[in-house]
Chains A and B, each alone.
Chain A
Amino acid sequence: MHEFGICQNIVNIACNELKKLEQKNVRVLKLRVKVGSLHAIVNENLEMAYSILTKDTDLHGSRLELISIPVEAECKDCGYRSRIKDNFFVCAQCNSGNLEIIKGQELYIENLEVAYEEDGD
C-alpha cells in the first residue's frame, strides 16, 4: 500500500498550491494526476487513500482524477519507437531488448479544478 505514501505527497503539494491562490472561498472540485503505466499503482488504492487523507484538509470533498499514460520505448539499436504492451519490452522492429523508456514513468499533478466566489457575489 505505497499508494498512501504517494497520496500524502499529492495532498501536501496540492494544499500548498491552494494557499497561494488569490481567489476567495475556494472549493476544490477535482484534482487531476497523470500516472505513467510503468508505476505499480492501483487506482482504487490511491483513490481510497485520497478520500481518507483529504478529510481534514482544504481538499475535502474533491475528486481525484487519475489519467494513465501508456508506456513507450525507443530501441537503442535501431531507433524504432513503440508502445509497450503486456510488459513485452522487446523492439517490434529488430527484436532487441535494448530499450530506453521514453514515456510511462510520469507521476505528477496536472491541475486543480476549483469553484470560487467572485468579488461582489
Chain B
Amino acid sequence: MKKTEIKIYKEILKAEGEWAAKTRESLRKHNILMLNLIGSPGCGKTALLEALLPLLLKKLRCAVLEGDVETARDAERLKDLGIPVSQIITQGTCHLGAQIVNKAVQELPLADLDLIFVENVGNLVCPTEFDIGEAAKLAVLSVTEGEDKPLKYPLLFRKAGAAVLTKIDLLPHLPFDRVKCLEFISQVNGRLPVFEISALKEQGTLTLADWISAFEIG
C-alpha cells in the first residue's frame, strides 16, 4: 500500500452560498429588501414583527417567512395583518437553509413586495452560520437573557447589520445591566447600530421602522 495526500481546497458551504446568491439575485431584480431575524427561542422575534409591521405597511409592501421547527403558530399570529406569510417547517433542523428559503421566496408574489422578513428558527448560534440571501441579519436579544450574550455569541453580532434589544419594558424588574450590554456589543462590533425596543409598550419601534425604511440594499 502507498500513502498520498490529495489537495482539495473546497469551500464547505459553497452549495449553500450558491443558493443564497440566487435568492439575492431575484431580490435585487425586484428591488426587495430581505432581513433575517436571528435570536434565541422566545426572545420576541414574532412580537417584534407584530409591532413593526403595522408601521412599515404604511409605506412598504411586506411579507414574512416564518421558520419554525414544528408548528405554524407564529405564522397564524401574523395572518391577521393581511400580508403573505409562509411557514417553513424545518422538521428539527436548527436553522433555515439557503435552498429551502430560495424556494419559499420564489413562491412569494415578488413583483408586489418591497420587504421580506425572515424569522429564523429560535436559536442564537446555528442560523448565524448560514447565509440565506438576506441583505442583513438582525440580531435579536431580549433583556431577560443576560447582558453577556454578545460576548458569548460574538459571531451573530459580528455578522449582523443591526442589533435589537427587546423587552426593555422589563428592565425595572431585572438585574440586567443595560450599559454593560451595550458596551459588550460595541466591543464585539463597534459599527453595529443598536435599537432598544418594547414590542409590548410599542417603545422604540418607530425608530427601527425608520431605519428599515431607509435601508440601502448593498
Within the assembled complex, what's the spacing in Å between the Cα atoms of A94 and B46?
Answer: 40
Query: Which residues of A have CB within 8 Å of B7?
Result: 110-111
Give A17 Cβ to nearest chain B Cβ, in Å.
Answer: 6
A6-32: CB near B (< 8 Å → 1, else 0) gives: 100110111001000101000001000
Q: Is B97 an interface residue (CB 8 A)?
A: yes
Q: Which residue of A lies closest to B186 (CB)?
A: A97
Contact A121 B16 (CB under 8 A): no
Within the assembled complex, what's the spacing in Å between the Cα atoms of A90 and B126?
Answer: 25
Query: How many A-B pairs fall under 8 Å by CB?
Result: 110
Q: Which residue of B lies closest to A18 (CB)?
A: B6
Known: A9-B12, A107-B13. A38 touches B5 (CB 8 A): no
Tally of B interface residues using CB under 8 Å = 37
Q: Which residue of B lies closest to A21 (CB)?
A: B6
Q: Restricting to A66-121, which residues have a CB under 8 Å from any CB of B?
A: 87-90, 96-99, 101, 107-118, 121
Chain A interface bracket (under 10, 10 to 19, 20 to 34, 35 or more): 35 or more
Contact A90 B12 (CB under 8 A): no
B1-17: CB near A (< 8 Å → 1, else 0) gives: 11111111111111110
Within the assembled complex, what's the spacing in Å between the Cα atoms of A36 and B32?
Answer: 32
Contact A39 B1 (CB under 8 A): no
Query: Which residues of B have CB within 8 Å of A99?
Result: 190
Chain B residues engaging chain A, CB cutoff 8 angstroms: 1-16, 93-95, 97, 125-130, 151, 153-155, 158, 186-191
Closest 4 CB pairs of A and B: A97-B190, A2-B126, A87-B154, A112-B6
